[in-house]
Amino acid sequence: MIGAQFCRTTQAHGGVVIYTHTSLHSTPINLSEFCTEKDIEICAVKLKVQSSVLCIITVNRSPSGNFNHFLETLDAVLQLVYSSFLGIIICGDININYLVVNEQRNQLDNLLLLYNLVGIVDFPTRLTNTSATAIDNFFIDVSVFQDYVVLLFLNGS
């Protein structure tokens, strides 16, 4: 079932959605006020899993969007949801290549470190005949999620 979503209304090919299994207790977090098409498309759910509470956030940033607006808005969202009792996982297509160190990556990393979040994908997530990039990523608090494995899954497309 759909746990949370944001759909573009004026542009094509974008938006975000989080699907949750019916056996999970999830609560959507209303982030619609933070969404700006192409700049930051974001949605989130809170999940109660055993004795833990997780906040799963998914985000899409178009390469043609306003990067500074993306950073400011992501910071505002994290300020809203952050709690020392909440495990935060951010995932999505951020269109910043994590295989290359550059100014945008540094700015995002510095913002996320304020919330103890780090990127954990260190292999290409998009492969073509002429390029390999890691523009899709997961960001987690590695002090909370200490035992994790990220694996590449080739889907054949």
Using one digit for the tens of pLDDT, what is the confidence trace for 29-63?
Answer: 999 999 999 999 999 999 998 888 999 999 999 99
Domain total of the chain: 1
Examine residue 150 and state whether it is found in any structural domain, yes or no.
no
Examine residue 17 and state whether it is found in any structural domain, yes or no.
yes
Examine residue 108 and state whether it is found in any structural domain, yes or no.
yes
Examine residue 122 and state whether it is found in any structural domain, yes or no.
yes
Query: CATH number, domain at 124?
Result: 3.60.10.10
Q: Long-range contacts for 1-5 (Cβ within 8 Å, ≥24 apart)? A: 3/28, 3/45, 3/56, 4/28, 4/29, 4/31, 4/43, 4/44, 4/45, 4/58, 5/43
Using one digit for the tens of pLDDT, what is the confidence trace for 56-113?
Answer: 999 999 999 999 999 999 999 999 999 988 999 999 999 999 999 999 999 999 999 9
Regarding pTM above 0.75, the answer is: yes
Q: Containing domain of residue 44, as a range?
A: 2-140
